[in-house]
Amino acid sequence: MHGDEPPLPDPQSLYEEAPCGLLVTKEDGTILRANLTFSQWIGFTEQELRSRRFQNLLTMGGRIFHQTHWAPLMKLQGSVAEVKLDLLRRDRRTFTVLLNGVRRAGVNGVQHELALFTINDRDKYERELLKARKLAEELLRQKSAAEAELRLAQAELSKAFEEAQKRASFAEQMVAIASHDLKNPLTAIKMSTDVLAQGERTARETNLLGYITQSASRAERLISDLLDFTLVRVGRGIVVSPSDLDLHDLVRQSVEELRVAFPKARLVHDAVGTGTARLDADRVHQLIGNLVGNSVSYGDLERPIVVTSKLEDDMAYVAVVNHGAVISPSLLAKLFEPMIRGANADNGVRSVGLGLFIVREIAKAHGGRVSVSSDEESGTSFTVSFPFS
């Protein structure tokens, strides 16, 4: 023994206080010796154990197993390993052990040397492991079921989406066809009213012809918006044919025509700057008509609607200002989306909510943009900016 190593416990202490139960029995199971650890487990003193057979400490099932399997194996192969047995304590409570044993033949006859290990912690671990496995299997089953339901829902959603797309496409085609086919009779109505207006008419007849013309013009604008909306939805977008033109003159013409279309409104045109702009004249007319129509619908007709054309810093601007109710910030953020309307108006000139959407698309087709601001002092202002080239 080296001087630095601590001394080992004496052999008797190692035997008595070993972390397992140790037994020596005769071949018939009579206990010859038991250590203190086993005595404390079983509740009998070593002296009391010496008068008993090991198999008598077992439960009924353990005794049967001892007689039919364990004892024959010890005799046949000379040892057993990790045999699981239930023992009865003095108070008749059971506890489970794993038994290892060897058979030795000596001068005093055959003896069995047994080592027993409690497995309470191991059983608890195995139970927890089994519980965790069952939980994992249940979670896996639930996951598989959820995935199956998700795949089914996705398939149903995909089918519903395809059907909705087909219905939407069909509806858009019908709108486009109907809108296109309505343009010819409306043109005929306007031409007829123009011809009738040239003759001698009473005041009442003249008013009626004026109403017909105004109604036909509103229907024409609505049809134009519907056609443009359909083109945007099917991915073709609004087509423009720009050319160099006098922006101020173009806006002035639009304002004059709109004064006839909206006789109750007071339209004012302001021109700022000089030069030409490269724009599609018909689309700009349409854009101004939509903005003025929106102002007539929601503005205060007791105050003027100001249409401004401006040329500045390689940019062309068209702005329309009215003094109606202030638009809330939440509505401003989505005002140029289709089918969006402001506060209710009862003047009979409202469309289906496509006007501002078409304004935005016309601006985009020219490489420009539209913005809006609204407050009590300055009113509501729509400004469209176009680059010169």
Contact assessment for residue 261 and residue 305, using Cβ atoms and an 8 Å cutoff: no
Helices (H) and strands (E) in the chain, counts: 11, 12
How many CA atoms lie less than 13 Å away from 383 in the CB half-sphere?
A: 13
d(CA 136, CA 49): 46
The tokens describing 351, both together, are 């469309």
Domains of the chain: 11-118 (3.30.450.20), 125-231 (1.10.287), 238-387 (3.30.565.10)
The tokens describing 116, both together, are 């027993």
Contact assessment for residue 85 and residue 97, using Cβ atoms and an 8 Å cutoff: yes
The tokens describing 187, both together, are 């043109």
Average pLDDT per consecutive 10 residues, the chain (389 residues; last block may be shorter):
67 88 92 93 92 91 89 91 90 90 89 88 66 80 86 85 68 57 64 71 75 72 70 69 92 91 91 91 90 91 94 92 90 80 50 78 92 92 90
Q: What's the pLDDT score for residue 133?
A: 81
Q: What's the pLDDT score for residue 164?
A: 67
End-to-end CA distance of the chain: give it in Å, rounded: 102
d(CA 167, CA 158): 14
Looking at 102-202, list the stretches that DSSP marks H as alpha helix, in order from N- to C-terminal side. Answer: 120-197
- In the chain, the amino acid numbered 192 is S
Q: What's the pLDDT score for residue 4?
A: 66
The tokens describing 64, both together, are 């049967």
Question: What residue ranges in 331-378 does DSSP mark as E strands?
Answer: 369-375
Contact assessment for residue 247 and residue 256, using Cβ atoms and an 8 Å cutoff: no
pTM given for the model: 0.49
- In the chain, the amino acid numbered 343 is A
Contacts of 274 (CB under 8 A, 6+ apart): 311
How many CA atoms lie less than 13 Å away from 5 in the CB half-sphere?
A: 5
Q: Which run of H or E residues covers position 42? A: helix 36-42
Contact assessment for residue 214 and residue 193, using Cβ atoms and an 8 Å cutoff: no
3-state SS class at 244: strand
Contact assessment for residue 180 and residue 230, using Cβ atoms and an 8 Å cutoff: no
3-state SS class at 269: strand
Q: What's the pLDDT score for residue 3?
A: 56
| Burial grade of 114 (CB within 10 A; 0-12, 13-18, 19 or more) | buried
Q: What's the pLDDT score for residue 159?
A: 83
d(CA 122, CA 132): 15
Contact assessment for residue 307 and residue 319, using Cβ atoms and an 8 Å cutoff: yes
The tokens describing 182, both together, are 């309505």
How many CA atoms lie less than 13 Å away from 162 in the CB half-sphere?
A: 5
Pairing of strands 305-312, 267-272: parallel
